């Protein structure tokens, strides 16, 4: 077999995962189409280099060249230079912190003429490589605290620098590596709290506090019941809390002029319920139940406490006074405005969208950053639900494909790296698309392959193609051909 490869110079694409490449190309193409319509400026010539989509052609060319180059290199090269690239990445991050240019409040850019480069995009690759290299070491065991700390250090060093750059969004991306750690056998008791916190974070954007509390209550009752059995007891417990909350509410409405809102009633009932359950667990000496209760209380505290007090205890005019004092109210140009406009743009797309270059919200600049971070608005408005689902399906497909590619690796290095890439992509999609539809706070990270921007496109291309190259590793690369 090896003979065939070395004889045939066209063997460059041998072993390369076609599906992943096709998904990648489709995404880049979809991105290009949407960048055209999002950034078309009718005041300058259609083919002028100052049109963003013309620049994007240049970036696409660069990306494809880099991709080819990556496929040419031997897979061992990445393993070999993982730490070097990591060190380089850290240096770049420090350099940008010292000499970089500030854009939108984040000191995260190098500027060469009209070209801006964001080192953080490349630091992600370096970190992924370093994590993969460290964890693929024969002596490495994730069960050992010392080793785990080393992984954490590798992740948190760039993260800290990135946060110092005031580019929190990009930094938090590195947290997605917990995904990889879990795959590699990280204790689920470390993962679950992280997941719960993340879920709550999302949920607090989605639900009203009272609904959130009810959901938490149900969730923990079910998990506790699954752990220790006694389903009937748990059902009675939850029902009692709900009933007493309702009674409290009705009583206060009748006798107390409605002093307690529904939410406050539920909180009081829940606190009572937790105390009762704790006493019960103490008597019966059920340790698992303590753990559940502790987690429950923790997540309850996580639900923005100040916010709930604000919403439920204060009277309307007091709220208005405080809000206007803090300058939160009437801030039409703030973050709320962006998300609102973004939702309007996506929502107005309907099933099939308004068509290419027909999106009025996009065309008339209602959506900020419409060709970069908010590119998904263009997709949503002009291509509708169908287009949005198509793009999401491509992204989902690529992530799953990368995970599958990781699983079929013989070397742990390739597997871990592949998972790192999927984790980074997943986090980007979740936060970016989530923010455009109001599920996530605005964090300012790009949508992989679709958002306009040279560093992001080239960096994601490198990220994915290293994984593709590693997957195709049975084939000899450029270096082995020389041998």
Which residues of this protein are in contact with other proteins, per CB under 8 A? 179, 182-183, 185, 202, 330, 332, 341, 343-351, 360-361, 363-366, 380, 384-385, 388-389, 392, 395-396, 399-400, 403, 407, 419, 422, 426, 429-430, 433-434, 437-439
Helix (H, G, I), strand (E, B) or coil at 261: coil
Give the N- to C-terminal CA distance of the chain in Å, as an integer. 16
User: Can you name the residues that pair with 102 across neighbouring β-strands?
Assistant: 107
DSSP assignment of 355-379 = -TT--HHHHTT-STTTTTTTHHHHH
Token duo for residue 62: 């660069």
Q: How many CB atoms lie within 10 A of CB 385?
A: 14
Residue 362 CB, shortest distance to other proteins, in Å, is 10
**Backbone torsion region of residue 369, taken as left when φ is above 0, otherwise alpha when ψ lies between -120 and 50, otherwise beta:** left
Nearer to other proteins, 28 or 181 (CB): 181
Nearer to other proteins, 258 or 355 (CB): 355
Residue 141 CB, shortest distance to other proteins, in Å, is 12
Residue 394 CB, shortest distance to other proteins, in Å, is 11
Nearer to other proteins, 106 or 395 (CB): 395
Residue 291 CB, shortest distance to other proteins, in Å, is 20
Residues 130 and 154: beta-carbon distance below 8 Å: yes
Phi first, then psi: give them for residue 115, nearest 5 degrees.
-100, 130
Nearer to other proteins, 54 or 344 (CB): 344
Residues 127 and 176: beta-carbon distance below 8 Å: no
Nearer to other proteins, 268 or 439 (CB): 439
Nearer to other proteins, 141 or 305 (CB): 141
How far, in whole angstroms, is CA 466 from its chain's centroid? 21
Residues 434 and 446: beta-carbon distance below 8 Å: no
Token duo for residue 301: 């505290």
Phi first, then psi: give them for residue 17, nearest 5 degrees.
-75, 105
Buried b (16+ CB within 10 A) or exposed e, 212-240: bbbebbeebbebbbeebeeeeebeebbee
Q: 184-191 — which CB contacts under 8 Å span 24+ positions?
A: 184/135, 184/142, 184/416, 184/419, 185/142, 185/143, 186/142, 186/148, 187/143
Residues 360 and 394: beta-carbon distance below 8 Å: no
Nearer to other proteins, 2 or 360 (CB): 360
Nearer to other proteins, 28 or 391 (CB): 391
Please name the helix (run of DSSP H) or strand (run of DSSP E) that holds residue 117, with its range, or none: strand 115-117
Nearer to other proteins, 85 or 361 (CB): 361
How far, in whole angstroms, is CA 317 from its chain's centroid? 38
Residue 388 CB, shortest distance to other proteins, in Å, is 5
Q: How many CB atoms lie within 10 A of CB 324?
A: 11
Residue 33 CB, shortest distance to other proteins, in Å, is 18
Nearer to other proteins, 53 or 419 (CB): 419
Q: How many CB atoms lie within 10 A of CB 171?
A: 23
Q: Locate tokens 């790009």: which residue?
A: 446
Residue 200 CB, shortest distance to other proteins, in Å, is 14
Choose among 54, 14, 11: nearest CA to 35.
54
Residue 465 CB, shortest distance to other proteins, in Å, is 21
Nearer to other proteins, 38 or 426 (CB): 426
Residue 466 CB, shortest distance to other proteins, in Å, is 20
Residue 137 CB, shortest distance to other proteins, in Å, is 17
Residue 64 CB, shortest distance to other proteins, in Å, is 27
């Amino acid at each position: 077999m090896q003979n065939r490869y070395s004889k045939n110079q066209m063997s460059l694409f041998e072993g390369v995962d076609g599906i992943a490449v096709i998904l990648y190309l489709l995404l880049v193409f979809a991105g290009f189409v949407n960048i055209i319509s999002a950034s078309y400026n009718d005041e300058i010539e259609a083919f002028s280099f100052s049109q963003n989509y013309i620049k994007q052609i240049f970036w696409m060319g660069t990306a494809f060249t880099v991709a080819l180059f990556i496929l040419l290199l031997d897979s061992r090269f990445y393993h070999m230079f993982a730490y070097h690239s990591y060190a380089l990445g850290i240096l770049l991050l420090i350099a940008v912190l010292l000499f970089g240019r500030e854009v939108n409040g984040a000191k995260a850019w190098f500027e060469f003429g009209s070209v801006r480069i964001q080192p953080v995009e490349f630091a992600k690759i370096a970190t992924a490589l370093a994590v993969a290299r460290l964890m693929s070491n024969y002596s490495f065991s994730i069960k050992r605290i010392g080793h785990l700390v080393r992984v954490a250090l590798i992740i948190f060093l760039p993260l800290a620098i990135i946060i110092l750059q005031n580019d929190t969004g990009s930094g938090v991306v590195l947290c997605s590596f917990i995904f990889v750690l879990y795959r590699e056998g990280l204790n689920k008791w470390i993962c679950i709290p992280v997941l719960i916190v993340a879920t709550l974070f999302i949920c607090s954007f989605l639900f009203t506090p009272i609904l959130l509390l009810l959901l938490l209550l149900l969730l923990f009752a079910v998990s506790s019941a699954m752990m220790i059995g006694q389903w009937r007891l748990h059902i009675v417990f939850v029902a009692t809390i709900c009933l007493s909350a309702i009674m409290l509410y009705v009583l206060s409405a009748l006798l107390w002029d409605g002093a307690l809102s529904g939410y406050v009633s539920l909180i009081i009932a829940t606190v009572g319920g937790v105390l009762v359950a704790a006493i019960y667990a103490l008597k019966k000496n059920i340790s698992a139940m303590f753990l559940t209760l502790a987690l429950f209380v923790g997540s309850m505290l996580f639900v923005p406490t100040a916010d709930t007090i604000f919403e439920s205890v204060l009277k309307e005019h007091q709220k208005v006074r405080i809000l206007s004092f803090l300058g939160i109210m009437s801030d039409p140009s703030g973050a709320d405005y962006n998300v609102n406009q973004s939702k309007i743009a996506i929502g107005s797309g309907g099933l099939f969208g308004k068509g290419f270059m027909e999106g009025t919200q996009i065309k008339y600049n209602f959506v900020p950053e419409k060709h970069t971070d908010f590119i998904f608005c263009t997709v949503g408005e002009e291509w509708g639900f169908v287009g949005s689902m198509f793009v999401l399906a491509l992204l989902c497909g690529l992530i799953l494909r990368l995970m599958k590619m990781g699983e079929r690796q013989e070397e742990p290095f390739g597997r871990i790296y592949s998972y790192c890439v999927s984790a980074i992509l997943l986090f980007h999609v979740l936060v970016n698309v989530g923010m455009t539809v109001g599920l996530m706070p605005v964090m300012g990270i790009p949508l992989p392959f679709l958002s306009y921007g040279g560093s992001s496109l080239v960096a994601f291309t490198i990220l994915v193609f290293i994984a593709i190259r590693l997957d195709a590793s049975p084939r000899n690369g450029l270096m082995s051909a020389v041998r």
